[in-house]
Amino acid sequence: MELPYVVVIILFYLGIYTIIMNKNLIKIVVGVNIVESSLILLLILISFKLGGTAPILDRKYELVVDPIPQALALTAIVIGGSLIAVMLALVIKIYKRYGTLNVDEIRKLRG
Amino acid sequence: MSRVHKIFRKFYKIGLVLFLAIFLLFIFDEIQNLDIKRYLSEHYISEGVQETGAINLVTSVLYDYRGFDTLGEATVILTAAATLSFMTPIKKVKMLGTEFTIIIYQTIIIIIPFLVVLGMNLIFFGHISPGGGFVGGVILAMIPILVTINYGITFSENKLKPNHKSLLEGIGAIGFILLGLLGIFAGSNFLASGQANFGLGNPGELISAGLIPYLNLMIGIKVGAGLAAIFNSLIKEG
């Protein structure tokens, strides 16, 4: 087991732990962001080859890293950014309506 | 009683997370020892430059082999910007402002032309060097964001009106689809540039790779306008 995969697992479950343990909505959004970061790191690790060059073939090359996971990582980054923006806007709306960010209090108020 | 219950629930959650982590550890161990031959990526590496004309393989995967994916990403950004624009008020313009020193105001004026050049370089050279439409669009979107932070939202929206931003975003989206339709008119599939033989040219030159530079330009316009609109909608709420 190589160390980077362990780092991916630690980051992923740190994000999951943040989501399920915190009551503050902003911290839940931060947890979602941490989970996304771990997934992007996993995609880069899958494409990595020891001694490979970047997939830009402008000179002689011997070994090139896999270009497909890098393109998928770009997709993940873009979708993650849009998702975080929409989540933050919803959090702002919730705060304006209920006056609190605590999940339990919002559930008690209910409308 | 209640306190014991709370502590029990906390340890239950921590144990659940640790159990799932150990489970994932075994799965990754399996993935790592898997010895598979990646036929698709080997095909892209060996034939991709001849087939698409772009020497940046990530760009060729993103805009030629998987152009549909990129259209989906563009739709996601469009949806996010539209949602945020619907959720925020149009008229009420107010934000928390701070006063900066004159050094920061003058530095922003000097920085902006360099940001334009850097963003345009990343967009137009996306198929022959690192970069691309998404990164260049983000750099271009930094200009309205910097202006908004430093000079206030009223000044920023006078300079670049929200209507113009949504118009630019629409131009990007519709241009991407129209360029994709060119592939159908040439007798091939939707969003095909390498298969339809759009003058691939010599790989490594600026005007080469068929439709890829124009698709990059459309995505750059769209991402830049979309991110600027998202930021202004988020900051307007305060």
What residue spans define the domains of chain A?
A: 3-109
The domain defined by A3-109 folds into Helix Hairpins (1.10.287)
Pairs of CB atoms within 8 A across A/B: 111
pLDDT of residue B237: 59
In-domain check, residue B23: no
Global pTM value:
0.82
In-domain check, residue B169: yes
Q: For tokens 């559930």, what's the residue? A: A107
Q: What is the largest CA-CA distance in chain B?
A: 77
Q: Are A42 and A33 in contact (CB under 8 A)?
A: no
Domain of B199, in residue numbers:
53-236
Chain A residue at shortest CA distance from B137 = A78
In-domain check, residue B46: no
In-domain check, residue B42: no
In-domain check, residue B83: yes
In-domain check, residue B197: yes
Among residues B76, B15, B17, B200, the alpha carbon closest in space to that of A17 is found at B17
In-domain check, residue B25: no
Question: What is the band of B116 on the pLDDT scale with cuts at 50, 70, 90?
Answer: very high
- Contacts with A81 from chain B: Cβ below 8 Å: 227
A35, A59, A74: best to mutate for the B interface, most B CBs within 10 A: A74
User: Environment class of residue B132 by beta-carbon count within 10 Å: exposed (0-12), middle (13-18) or buried (19+)?
Assistant: buried
How far is the C-alpha of B228 from the C-alpha of B95, rounded, in Å?
Answer: 16
For residue range B7-53, list pLDDT tens digits in order.
888 888 888 888 888 888 888 888 777 777 778 888 888 887 777 77
Chain A residue at shortest CA distance from B37 = A66
The C-alpha of B189 sits at a distance from chain A's nearest C-alpha, in angstroms, of: 21
- Contacts with A9 from chain B: Cβ below 8 Å: 21, 24-25, 28
Q: Which long-range contacts (CB under 8 A, 24 or more apart) does A34-40 make?
A: A35/A11, A36/A76, A36/A80, A37/A11, A38/A8, A38/A9, A38/A11, A38/A12, A39/A12, A39/A76, A40/A73, A40/A76, A40/A77, A40/A80
Domains: count for chain B? 1
Where does residue A56 fall: left (phi above 0), alpha (psi -120 to 50 degrees), or beta otherwise?
Answer: beta
Does pLDDT of A76 surpass 60? Answer: yes
In-domain check, residue B117: yes
Chain B residue at shortest CA distance from A91 = B234
